[in-house]
């Protein structure tokens, strides 16, 4: 059914503009043929859609997608890293610029019905029929997806390997297929999850000296130990089970992107020799305990660092000597993406590290996986003393954050202080302001989509209503187990009004002193609200402080004793 559904109403701009009977006829052909004998017209339109793509980069992005298995959820980040390694994108130097380019290209491919939405966020799929038809598009490009041993043998007999640029091996046994062949033009090699190799020789890369991208989805000892011959490699994705691969990796002086998965207790010190490395991704490493001191400092061109959420062994000391890396090693780097967890805010790096971040997930004082209802790129999770947090670079990120989690922040009386006499108990001083950045028009939480406050015992409200006018894109507010919380916003101005047109989730739990959504002033209704209540039936509030919410909202109230304004 998936194939049938994906093959209907898609492929190219030509079909998109046809009458309904054209669509119905195509559907009927697909039903009757079960994808066998579909008219050449359908496939020719697929090719036409490909050829009509305005940008050559979009065609290259489509070719990258064709290297993955049928019905596969293709991770957009893989397209970014492969494309960056192959230099597919013109005038792109930074990794985050390549990412922006890929998302634009994917939009173009979707509009041309060559790609579908994937099953998860940041994933795409290729239509079945384009996969069947893409071979004709690729003949001149020499990009090959080999899904069977028979196909591989046929390809070898025709000497197809001599001119190929990209190979994706997606079948089981490959031990005899990569031996004794020269691949003088090969730039990309991908070996899929189902492949296995009991006896590949150590010199398997000898005929692949021009390889730019290598992606291994399984651990092949011989392939790991002989990496040092790939001196032109720029993107490397590895699955490792031991540390022996580290001896070879230091020779890859042109490497720019490195992703490591599976079991790795100690990061090899040889990684510090990768002077051109721009992206290091260790999020899918299991059991990481040790990053050698000085390795991060040596990666002077590093732009993006992704670490597993459980890793908090920063500045670990043994016998009075620092053995593990310190986050201060990043102070001189121009970081644009950072995903880290730290046990306390005091060891965070300098403000300069955070100033240029385009993507971040930073967890302070906890090692739990950062969870948000949507897949946001800018997430803060803070759990420490308020006076310690406010002395760090977190105030810069609060102006950028899409998700803000305040969990058991002790001594937090105000999130933003507006009183020059107050010296402690807040995160941001409004009199100094959050440092303005070119891309931020509103200094106070102007990009916030989701707010979660939990167990902040002395906090009475989030921020003044006058500072909430930049929160029009807020989707969710969740507040729970805050003993002194009286309201979400505090309003001291008689004429202040604000709306939250995107708010869809409001969760309030265990707030014994809660008075209202906005305290100190009752506002008048401008829009009718029919919120749904879970477990409490249906509520139709009138003349309440919820009138700033103009959409249908899922609201959860639990263990709230006083709500004098909320339901008045």
**Is position 526 within any domain?**
yes
The least confident of 102-106, 182-186, 202-206, 253-257 is: 202-206
pLDDT 10s digits, 358-371: 999 999 997 666 66
Instruction: Give yes or no for a contact between 338 and 304, defined as CB atoms under 8 angstroms apart.
Output: yes
CB atoms within 10 A of CB 239: 20
**Is position 47 within any domain?**
yes
pLDDT at 477: 93
- Identify the domain boundary among 111, 137, 163: 137
The mean pLDDT of 509-522, rounded to a whole number, is: 80
pLDDT 10s digits, 262-291: 888 889 999 999 999 999 999 999 989 899
99 sits in which H/E element = helix 95-111
Query: Helices in 218-302 by DSSP H: which ranges?
Result: 221-225, 246-249, 295-298
Q: Which domain holds residue 384?
A: 354-417+442-531+544-567
- pLDDT at 512 exceeding the cut of 80: yes
**Is position 235 within any domain?**
no
Question: What is the pTM assigned to this prediction?
Answer: 0.84
**Is position 398 within any domain?**
yes
Q: Using alpha carbons, select from 365, 371, 358, 357 the residue that is nearest to residue 386.
A: 365
Distance CA 473, CA 499 (A): 10
Considering its fold, how many domains does the chain have in total?
2
pLDDT band at residue 55 under the 50/70/90 scheme: confident
The residues pairing with 258 across neighbouring beta strands, listed in sequence order, are: 236, 280
Dihedral, CA atoms, 173, 176, 182, 188, nearest 10 degrees? 10
- Identify the domain boundary among 83, 108, 137: 137
Distance CA 81, CA 107 (A): 18
pLDDT band at residue 2 under the 50/70/90 scheme: very low
- pLDDT at 41 exceeding the cut of 90: no
Q: C-alpha 266: how far from its chain's center?
A: 25
Instruction: Give yes or no for a contact between 330 and 306, defined as CB atoms under 8 angstroms apart.
Output: no
List the structure tokens of 75.
Answer: 């991770």
- pLDDT at 433 exceeding the cut of 60: no
List the structure tokens of 299.
Answer: 């990666």
The mean pLDDT of 411-422, rounded to a whole number, is: 74
- Identify the domain boundary among 110, 137, 164: 137
**Is position 281 within any domain?**
no
518 three-class SS: strand
**Is position 360 within any domain?**
yes
- pLDDT at 223 exceeding the cut of 80: no
The mean pLDDT of 220-228, rounded to a whole number, is: 76
**Is position 193 within any domain?**
no
pLDDT at 367: 67
**Is position 447 within any domain?**
yes
């Amino acid at each position: 059914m998936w194939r049938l559904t994906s093959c209907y109403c898609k492929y190219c701009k030509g079909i998109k503009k046809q009458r309904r009977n054209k669509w119905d006829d195509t559907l009927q052909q697909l039903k009757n043929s079960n994808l066998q004998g579909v008219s050449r017209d359908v496939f020719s339109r697929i090719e036409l859609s490909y050829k009509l793509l305005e940008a050559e980069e979009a065609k290259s992005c489509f070719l990258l997608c064709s290297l993955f298995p049928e019905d596969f959820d293709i991770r957009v980040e893989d397209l970014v890293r492969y494309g960056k390694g192959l230099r597919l994108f013109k005038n792109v130097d930074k990794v985050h610029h390549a990412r922006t380019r890929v998302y634009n290209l994917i939009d173009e491919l979707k509009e041309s019905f060559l790609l579908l939405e994937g099953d998860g966020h940041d994933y795409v799929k290729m239509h079945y029929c384009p996969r069947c038809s893409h071979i004709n598009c690729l003949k001149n490009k020499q990009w090959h997806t080999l899904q069977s041993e028979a196909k591989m043998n046929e390809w070898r007999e025709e000497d197809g390997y001599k001119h190929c640029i990209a190979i994706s091996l997606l079948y089981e046994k490959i031990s005899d297929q990569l031996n004794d062949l020269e691949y003088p033009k090969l730039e990309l090699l991908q070996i899929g999850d189902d492949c296995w190799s009991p006896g590949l020789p150590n010199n398997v890369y000898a005929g692949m000296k021009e390889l730019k991208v290598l992606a291994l989805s399984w651990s092949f000892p011989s392939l790991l130990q002989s990496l040092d011959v790939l001196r032109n490699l720029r993107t490397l994705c590895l699955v490792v089970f031991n540390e022996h691969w580290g001896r070879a990796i230091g020779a890859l002086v042109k490497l720019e992107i490195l992703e490591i998965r599976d079991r790795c207790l100690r990061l090899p010190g040889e990684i510090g020799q990768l002077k051109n490395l721009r992206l290091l991704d260790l999020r899918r490493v299991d059991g990481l305990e040790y990053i050698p001191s000085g390795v991060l400092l040596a990666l002077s061109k590093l732009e993006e660092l992704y670490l597993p959420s459980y890793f908090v062994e920063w500045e670990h000391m043994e016998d009075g000597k620092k053995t593990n890396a310190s986050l201060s090693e990043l102070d001189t780097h121009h970081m644009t993406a950072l995903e880290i967890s730290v046990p306390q805010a005091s060891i965070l790096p300098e403000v300069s590290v955070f100033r240029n971040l385009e993507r971040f997930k930073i967890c302070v004082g906890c090692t739990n996986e950062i969870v948000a209802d949507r897949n946001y790129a800018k997430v803060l999770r803070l759990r420490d003393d308020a006076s310690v947090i406010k002395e760090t670079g977190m105030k810069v990120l609060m102006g950028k954050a899409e998700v803000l989690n305040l969990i058991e922040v002790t001594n937090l009386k105000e999130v933003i202080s507006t009183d020059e006499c107050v010296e402690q108990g807040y995160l941001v001083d409004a009199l100094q302001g959050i440092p303005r950045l070119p891309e931020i028009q509103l200094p106070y939480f102007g990009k916030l989509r989701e707010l979660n406050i939990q167990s902040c015992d002395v906090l009475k409200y989030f921020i003044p209503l006058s500072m909430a006018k930049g929160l029009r894109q807020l989707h969710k507010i969740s507040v729970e187990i805050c003993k002194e919380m009286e309201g979400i916003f505090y309003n001291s101005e008689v004429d202040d009004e604000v709306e939250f047109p995107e708010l869809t989730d409001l969760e309030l739990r265990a707030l014994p002193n809660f008075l209202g959504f906005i305290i100190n002033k009752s506002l008048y209704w401008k829009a009718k609200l029919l919120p749904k209540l879970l477990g409490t039936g249906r509520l139709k509030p009138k003349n309440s402080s919820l009138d700033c919410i103009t959409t249908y909202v899922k609201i959860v109230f639990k263990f709230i004793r006083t709500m004098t304004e909320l339901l008045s």
